[in-house]
Amino acid sequence: MKPDLRAKILGVELGNPTILASGIMGVSGAACCYAAKNGAGAVIPKSIGPKEREGHANPVLVEFDKGFLNAVGLPNSGVDNSLGEIEFAMKNSGVPVIPSLFGGTKEEFGMVAEKLDTLRPQLIEVNLSCPNTQDDFGLAFALSEKDAGEVIKLVKSKVRAKVIAKLAPNVPDIKTIARAVEKAGADAITAVNTMPGMAIDAKTGNPLLHNKQGGISGPALRPIAVNCIYEIYKAVNIPIIGAGGVTHGEDAAEMIMAGAAAVEIGTGIYYRGIDVFRKVSGELEQLMAENGYATIKEMTGVSHR
């Protein structure tokens, strides 16, 4: 029998478990639709903030031998200008659209979330990996259980949508942060955002990213992500969406077996083309058939047995 590739997250049904990750491609509603047309089971547009931001100068993305480094700098047209783009994707993509949001303060998160919620998305993802501008060191919200929890609590109070907290991998114990956001009311967790990294041009000594430092994505991030998912699965009772270096069907299976209900794909678009979603789904389906899995749910968390 053909395996059932459908994934369900908080009651929202996806035709397949691959989701366009926030930060890659989804600048516009049309770009999100293009990913959906190429097989994505759901799409997460680029994170939207309180006001227009240009992001960093180029280069914003550079490759290394096991992945990419990025510091795009959260460019976006601001929440008011972005609502039309999200609406376009919701109307035309044919798949669930999960708006992603960020802020520099808790209040900004709350304000953006409230505005996005007027579009009645079923799910929203909270990007906690941006710096807290009120913190003395500009520490990212995702690095502090207190900050992460407070943001989620405030966002929850502003929206009808179910709230997904996107966590950062570079913390001493990701279980603590996961428990904090669960306690604050998060309905699900995305694990993980990129890992801090840097690359330097050896001929001139110049950092290659204009922002000098950035985040690692792609194959190098995958084992880190799988480990985080495995840890979080043990710590909380809410669903997990895996993210980090999924490029092939086996990678998706790995994350699902560690505990993910679905997986996000971003950098994989570079390695396998925009139809990476369709390719990964096809490979996952075959892997499931060969190994006797009928559903994604059945495969979720099997490595914990």
Partner 1 sequence: MKMERPQIAAIKRVEEEADGIKTIFLNSSMKARHGQFIMLWLPRIDEKPFAVSYASKGEIGITVAAVGPFSEKLSLMRAGEKIGVRGPYGRPYTLAKGNLVMIGGGYGSASLAMLAEEAARKMTRVKFILGARSKSRLVYVERIKRLIGEENLTITTDDGSAGRKGLVTDALKEMIAREKIDKIYACGPDKMLKAVASIGHEAGIPGEISMERYMKCGFGLCGHCCVDPIGIRLCVEGPVIDFGTAMQVKELGLYHRLKSSRKEAI
Shortest spacing between CB 174 and partner 1, in angstroms: 26
Angle between helical axes of 145-158 and 106-117 (0-180°, round to 10):
30
Shortest spacing between CB 2 and partner 1, in angstroms: 30
Catalytic residue selected from 32, 33, 130, 228: 130
Q: Which helix (H) or strand (E) holds 84?
A: helix 79-92
Sign of the dihedral through C-alpha 232, 229, 43, 7 = negative
Q: Which helix (H) or strand (E) holds 262?
A: strand 260-265
Shorter beta-carbon distance to partner 1: residue 225 or 257: 225
Shorter beta-carbon distance to partner 1: residue 91 or 183: 91
Query: Which residues are CB-contacts of 108 (< 8 A; sequence separation ≥ 6)?
Result: 49, 50
Shortest spacing between CB 130 and partner 1, in angstroms: 16
Mark whether 130 is an active-site residue.
yes
What residue spans of 139-275 are helical by DSSP H?
A: 145-158, 174-183, 222-235, 249-258, 268-272
Shortest spacing between CB 33 and partner 1, in angstroms: 5
Q: Which residues bind partner 1 (CB under 8 A)?
A: 24-35, 37, 46, 52-55, 57-65, 68, 72, 75-78, 81, 88, 92, 199, 201, 203-204, 206, 208, 210, 266-267, 269-270, 274
Shorter beta-carbon distance to partner 1: residue 93 or 300: 93
Burial category of 173 from C-beta neighbours within 10 Å (exposed 0-12, middle 13-18, buried 19 and up) = exposed
Shorter beta-carbon distance to partner 1: residue 218 or 301: 218
Catalytic center residues: 130
